[in-house]
Structure 1
């Protein structure tokens, strides 16, 4: 008898009843569809930057190429959100579980990276320094990478990873005697101190030979502090802003995990109801 069944027993519902909420189902679909479009845009931009803009260097310096990083993130995001879209529309538990597990793993990895970065801040700083120095080595090999480094040095008012002499690691700016480059012992123009009160033509060669100039004299022309220290100081000054950004990235992930778990639970209840109804039709006295 129905009265002897549990509160959530399938026998308490009509055959036309559905546990799957259209609100949860289509909200999850819209959520994934929006991020799927963002992933498509990231892939398109990455392909354009990697192939169309400089096809001749398509295999150069993949490890520090911003376009390649954008492509990798875009592809991963495309796969995950595609599974979320199809899984929510088709009410497919396997796709929804893959979507939910993927988001959970990404969230936990981000959390672990933040905690480990805080605990092992010195090692993390050394690793970032190595990455920046590696990017400096390939400065002239990739226009996107060059623009990214120039943008960072201008925005933070810095030069090199730890100091402006780090530019000697680049083959064009190397300060050895046998370097035939016209930029020998120089630093990029983005290292230069540009004062806005001057109206004359800016000297784009202001970084010429700055690596062999005395530190005091060089500091009057270029930024001599490394970008790592500048970025660390900026982080310490903007902890609340960075916390808000981190929270803004975490909330969509948690919302996606919550909605997918709700929909998976509803689909399972619906399958149980359907199985009960099939058994009830086969054996009405059951």
Structure 2
């Protein structure tokens, strides 16, 4: 009975890690494909710092999954104690890193307040000329947030008063990312929006409230997903250690 149980765990672990191996291979191939410059993608990625960082995140995640799948598959099917031990240690490291990140996020959650984001926005957000320069990562991130969530500033457009943005662009009340986008406005509507001539043409809701309301519906799903991932990792460690101890 014990041999049948170990054999069942061996093949289950092999199948599970085979899918992890395929997923890691796909992510690695995707990252390399973009960096190799197919159809000019490399120039597009290099222009945007967020996309450039995202490519390396994909490569790192793909490499990690590739290594995990390889160690799990080979260790299980070949009944190799050394590979199983490496697999267990790598899973344990990831598990502890995730727990540490969750604990740090809980401890420092009080620092990520509305006032903190408002101060950062005032001191670091800056206007740029689209024809000559590219925005820094901080400005690009905030532009993406305000465009995606149809909001302006942290608490509202007033966050740009007495800010670095107003110092660099004294004729503008808000950046273009705060303006409503539709085919009826045109350049005239955008000019009225950024100059403060028409409050109705801009988004007046703060991004802090907009983002919180948007993700509030997904918080339980994210929590459930985190629990599922941690549970899978625990089972993977138990299976690996059972096979390690059962292999003679």
Same fold (TM over 0.5): yes
Asked if the contact 2:127–2:169 (Cα under 8 Å) also holds between the matched residues in 1, the reply is: no
Q: Secondary structure at the match of 2:168?
A: coil
Shift of 1:44: 2.3
Can you list the C-alpha shifts for 1:245-268, whole angstroms capped at 9, x where unaligned?
Answer: 21232232222112112211111x
Asked if the contact 1:29–1:89 (Cα under 8 Å) also holds between the matched residues in 2, the reply is: yes
Is 1:25 equivalent to 2:10 in the alignment? yes
After superposition, the Cα gap between the structure-2 partners of 1:62 and 1:252, relative to the gap in structure 1 and judged at 3 Å, is same
Shift of 1:93: 1.5
Q: Secondary structure at the match of 2:176?
A: coil
Asked if the contact 1:175–1:184 (Cα under 8 Å) also holds between the matched residues in 2, the reply is: no
Deviating above 6 A after TM superposition, structure 1's stretches of 4 or more consecutive aligned residues are: 133-140, 146-151
Number of corresponding residues: 233
Q: Secondary structure at the match of 1:21?
A: helix
1:213 to 170, 181, 196: 196
Shift of 1:63: 9.1
1:156 to 139, 143, 149: 149
When the two chains are superposed, the root-mean-square deviation of aligned CA atoms in Å is 4.5
Q: C-alpha distance in 2, partners of 1:134/1:27? A: 51
Which structure carries more helix by proportion?
2
Q: C-alpha distance in 2, partners of 1:174/1:76? A: 44
Compute the TM-score of the two structures, normalised by the length of structure 2: 0.69
Larger Rg: 1
Q: Secondary structure at the match of 1:24?
A: helix
1:257 to 224, 231, 237: 237
Q: Tell me, which stretches of 5 or more residues in structure 2 are unaligned?
A: none
2:228 to 226, 248, 254: 248
Q: C-alpha distance in 1, partners of 2:94/2:186? A: 44
